[in-house]
């Protein structure tokens, strides 16, 4: 079964070692330096240990849209190897819509099961995520779970998640007959999945293992509409796509204590 057949059937695809170990180490070091250097208004708002009040994710929150302020993030988001896989999966030219970096240190909460296109609002069709593992991603350290075949499901209206387990508010229900499975990844592996696929993660219960990841969202050139939080979209050469209708939208997963993004 080739990559597209696997993706179309299961709703997801793991491409092993798409990035080299050296490239992943560079990405890890780069984002740890960003954390060390403090806030980036509108993108990254870490709190001190005292202000975090025991919630380690407040000390290591995700970085939203780093590509808008950081050339290295833009380079990884527009990487030719990622676009080659996406072109095969989409059957058309991809457009890049979003980048994020998750630190997920030991003790961090997970992110409740959700569907990405609930937030991106791509029409027609859906989005695709490219989830690059920066650390080994396992069950213990809160690795991602995906629900195979859930790409055939309609987008659900979420219910409220458990704030003790998830840092985001929304949670969807796994359809009868389906179940989440862990995506076990090594650094440099990239997990691609359909924007309707149900996925999420559980808390990092390891003692000393981060589960860092660099995550980008894309859609195909035939899409005509997307949420305003995800503009502008980019072609692989870095030029902006301007022919796109915009609707109101929010970040991919709304936090219980939402930080306003610029």
Question: Domain map of the chain by residue range?
Answer: 3-247
Which H or E run includes 83?
helix 80-90
> Any idea what DSSP says for residue 215?
E
**Cα 77 vs. chain centroid, distance in angstroms?**
12
The Cα 126–Cα 123 span in angstroms is 6
Buried b (16+ CB within 10 A) or exposed e, 90-114: beeebbbbbbbbbbbbbbbbbbbbb
φ, ψ dihedrals at 177, nearest 5°: 90, -10
The Cα 88–Cα 65 span in angstroms is 25
pLDDT, position 40: 95
Q: What is the pTM of this model?
A: 0.95
pLDDT by residue (tens digit) across 129-158? Answer: 999 999 999 999 999 999 999 999 899 999
* HSE value, Cβ hemisphere, 13 Å, CA-based, for 33: 8
pLDDT, position 28: 98
pLDDT by residue (tens digit) across 154-202? Answer: 999 999 999 999 999 999 999 999 999 999 999 999 999 999 999 999 9
Q: Assign 43 to helix, strand or coil.
A: coil
Q: Which CATH number fits domain 3-247: 3.40.228.10, 2.60.120.620, 3.40.309.10, 2.40.37.10?
A: 2.60.120.620
pLDDT by residue (tens digit) across 191-208? Answer: 999 999 999 999 999 999
pLDDT by residue (tens digit) across 208-231? Answer: 999 999 999 999 999 999 999 999
């Amino acid at each position: 079964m080739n990559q597209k057949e696997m993706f179309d059937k299961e709703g997801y695809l793991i491409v092993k070692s798409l990035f080299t170990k050296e490239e992943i180490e560079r990405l890890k070091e780069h984002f740890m330096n960003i954390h060390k250097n403090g806030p980036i208004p509108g993108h990254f708002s870490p709190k001190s240990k005292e202000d975090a009040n025991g919630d380690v994710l407040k000390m290591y929150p995700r970085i939203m849209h780093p590509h808008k302020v950081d050339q290295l993030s833009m380079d990884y988001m527009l990487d030719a190897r990622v676009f080659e896989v996406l072109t095969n999966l989409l059957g058309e030219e991809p457009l890049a819509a979003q980048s994020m970096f998750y630190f997920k240190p030991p003790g961090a909460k997970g992110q409740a099961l959700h569907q990405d296109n609930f937030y991106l609002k791509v029409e027609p069709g859906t989005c695709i995520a490219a989830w690059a593992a920066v650390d080994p991603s396992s069950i213990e350290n809160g690795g991602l779970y995906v629900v195979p075949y859930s790409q055939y499901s309609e987008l659900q209206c979420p219910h409220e998640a458990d704030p003790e387990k998830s840092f985001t508010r929304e949670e969807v229900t796994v359809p009868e007959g389906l179940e989440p499975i862990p995506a076990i990844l090594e650094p440099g592996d990239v997990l691609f999945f359909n924007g309707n696929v149900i996925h999420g993660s559980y808390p990092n219960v390891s003692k000393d293992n981060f589960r860092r990841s660099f995550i980008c969202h894309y859609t195909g050139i035939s899409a005509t509409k997307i949420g305003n939080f995800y503009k502008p979209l980019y072609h692989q050469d870095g030029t902006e796509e301007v022919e796109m209708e915009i609707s109101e939208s929010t970040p991919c997963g709304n936090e219980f204590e939402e930080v306003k993004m610029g």
